[in-house]
Amino acid sequence: IGLIREGKQPADRRVALTPSQCKEVMQRFPDVDLLVQRSPVRAYTDAEYEVMEIPMADDLSDRELIIGIKEVPLDMLMNGKAHQFFSHTIKEQPHNAKLLKAILEKKVRLIDHELLTDPNGDRVLAFGYWAGVVGAYNAFRGWQLTHGGPVLKPAHECHDLEELEEHLHAYPLPTDLRIVLTGGGRVGKGAMGILERAGVVRVKPDAFLGNTFEGPVYTVLGSADLYEREDGQPFDKAAFHKDPTGHRSKFLPYVKLAKMYLACHYWDARGPKILSAQDLKDPALTLEVIADISCDIGGPIDSTLRATKIADPFFGYDPSTGKEVQAGTKGTITVMTVDNLPAELPRDASDAFGRDLIERVLPSLINDDKEDMIGRATIAEDGKLSEHFQYLAEYAKG
């Protein structure tokens, strides 16, 4: 196995296994010959690997399996080798069509992290929790941008989560701050963790709408709180998740009270808008910051005009025109739409990812793949698309 240095630009500083985890792999799996490719950008330095006596090299051409995080640049793909990374191809993402074409031409076996699932179909490798952590922190940075107070150091300039929390604890939150959050999965749990650490108290949705509070509070909305049927019939959660058509949002009462909105939900493209441009024009709206952590461009939140970058995470949304303006402009909403948030805390995110890789994936990679975890996650092999990914044939022509 070789750990590849990340080649996609802008550079991603995450890695699949930290130095101590590499040492653990070498001890727990003696049949594994592990090699780490040197990297000038990785959050864990080459020196940290060398201190742990992890073999290092510039050339991975003798490896059978190459593991990375982001898409591998075409010129770094190795002919006939197995590669495991997030390919972002299964939804036929236009920018990666050439990547899949090259994978087939070079007879690369592509194992996609996103497709590694347990027998119940649940993903075993993901960075969603860390997207929630950084996204919620960025929401407070957006608040500081317009309200002042101590400057919150950008997450990517913090050494780790511990330093981020130190800055968060030093920021005084207003007692009347109300926050609404949609989505309770990995992303939502990461965001909730930050809110709790900041001293924001969770309340139930009905209490959020009906009560006054002595300090900052937040509420979490599930699908039953967020949507209703257009025909007036009782909401059926199972039916909604099977087919969300015929439903509408009932979100507006919350954002007539909330000053900050954290979007952490999964959105089905067949589903209704959560917050339309018309909703955003409502003069009773109290929102000042929207952190769209899910970042669905053209999706359920009409203020999500584009994805932003780590170095410049905010823009202003003018509700009267639906246009982007300078962040902090009076009368506008500060919007955060960074689409690679976990990369801002690469050490913590890498550590969590590597732990899952060791415990939940390596046994199937190294030993018998009894549950077909690796087989299900294989998109291509020997120049051909796997059975379940034949639908990508036209896309794979590049």
Cα 182 from chain centre: 15
Instruction: Check residue 368 and give its pLDDT.
Output: 87
**Cα–Cα distance for residue pair 360/126, rounded to 1 Å:** 12
- Classified as helix, coil or strand, 339 is coil
Instruction: List for the chain the helix, strand, coil content (%; round to 5).
Output: 35, 20, 45
Beta bridge partners of 228: 248
Give dist(CA 89, CA 80) in Å, integer: 19
The number of residues in the chain equals 398
The structure tokens 């209490």 sit at 207
Per-residue tens of pLDDT for the chain, all 398 residues: 999 999 998 889 999 999 999 999 999 999 999 999 999 999 999 999 999 999 999 999 999 999 999 999 999 999 999 999 999 999 899 999 999 999 999 999 999 999 999 999 999 999 999 999 999 999 999 999 999 999 999 999 999 999 999 999 999 999 999 999 999 999 999 999 999 999 999 999 999 999 999 999 999 999 999 999 999 999 999 999 999 999 999 999 999 999 999 999 988 889 999 999 999 999 999 999 999 999 998 899 999 999 999 999 999 999 999 999 999 999 999 999 999 999 999 999 999 999 999 999 999 999 889 999 999 999 999 999 999 999 999 999 97
- 268: tokens are 């089905």
Q: How many CB atoms lie within 10 A of CB 285?
A: 17
| CB atoms inside a 10 Å sphere around CB 11 | 14
Q: Which H, E and C letters describe 66-95, residue by residue? A: EECCCCCCHHHCCCCCEEEECCCCCCCCHH
Helix H segments across the chain? 19-28, 46-51, 97-105, 128-147, 161-169, 186-197, 205-210, 223-226, 237-242, 252-255, 277-280, 346-356, 362-366, 373-376
Cis omega (within 30 of 0) for bond into 55: no
Q: Which residues contact 42 (CB under 8 A, 6 or more apart)?
A: 5, 6, 13, 15, 346
Q: Report the distance separating Cα 288 and Cα 259, nearest Å.
A: 5
CB 202 within 8 A of CB 196: yes
Sign of torsion, CA 34 37 42 48?
positive
